[in-house]
A and B are shown apart, each in its own frame.
Chain A
């Protein structure tokens, strides 16, 4: 793998990792909110 390919590889990997991290964080917050909402209901 050339240095350019290596850099592109890292860039894509990093952006994917950030998207996955953001998604997980979003769902952690969402499930907390769902829990509160459902307890409140009932």
Chain B
């Protein structure tokens, strides 16, 4: 990881440890950790608290490792965008190979840790998630298709699945449904943001949907994914895997999400436009995911305490 060999004047000094921490995308990691914990807490069965902690730690480290690989691969792209030009690599504070080695090392340790401490099914899924994000998404599909956000959503959908399977040790319908919920939630969430935030993606050649297919197509896609998401979000209750606590919350949230997505989907931007429906939809999408997963855990806790007969 560390090298003191000077590459440029800025590289004569060893890289600050904080820059390695930045490579792991700590803000993205908070959502990863939250959904992974919810997956583990909502799963039926028991796991030793130390092993549960280790499972969450391994998931977080895997997310950090693949994020570092993303920094390594996209250093040139990041240099061309205002939002990312001051990251450790484009900022010239770190050697590119160091980011790659750090990412590979962190990813490898996370998978080994999961395998040794928790189980090899969870470890294999963690490895799949890392390869999916770092290779399939970052290197292959992100620069090639305007559906890149849909593909990227798959990477974010792994943590609750792995958290659940770390506890149960088997793949069942419920962890797959949790995966599907985040998978179909991501496109409306991200595209709502993309509609009102001016980004530099076009400049660096990443084909984001609003840029490539236009605003009308983006709005239609938001509506479609929101409508597909609703039955999937309610499904855990419909198949009897959760109680009415989760079921009622899922129904209410789905109706609200659709009610916010449909007006935005039908309209077009005016000459002067505050983009209020899009901003509201984006903010609500965050609340939606947070409350939905919290309800999942609350449902399990209520069932364990015998409140749900």
Contact = CB atoms under 8 A, between A and B. Distances in A.
A30 interface: yes
Contact of A15 (B16, B51, B116): B16
B16 A34 contact: no
B17 A16 contact: yes
Contact of A41 (B12, B48, B57, B116): B48
Given A16-B2, A30-B54, A33-B50, A38 B117 contact: yes
B286 interface: no
B51 A5 contact: no
Contacts of B214: none
A10 to B, nearest CB: 10
Nearest to B117: A34
Given A12-B13, A13-B14, A16-B17, A34 B2 contact: no
Contacts, number: 37
Contacts of A33: 50
Interface residues of B, number: 14
Interface string B1-28: 0100000000011111100000000000
A34 to B, nearest CB: 5
Contact of B51 (A8, A16, A34): A34
Given A30-B54, A34-B117, A38-B117, A12 B48 contact: no
Contacts of B51: 34, 37-38
A33 B54 CA distance: 10
Contacts of A41: 48
Contact of B17 (A19, A30, A34, A40): A19
Interface string A1-22: 1000100110011011001000
Contacts of B17: 15-16, 19
A9 B117 contact: no
Contacts of A34: 50-51, 54, 116-117
Interface of A: 1, 5, 8-9, 12-13, 15-16, 19, 30, 33-34, 36-38, 40-41
28 contacts: A1-B12, A5-B12, A8-B13, A9-B13, A9-B14, A12-B13, A12-B14, A12-B15, A13-B14, A15-B16, A15-B17, A16-B2, A16-B16, A19-B17, A30-B50, A30-B57, A34-B50, A34-B51, A34-B54, A34-B116, A34-B117, A36-B50, A37-B48, A37-B50, A37-B51, A38-B51, A38-B117, A40-B48
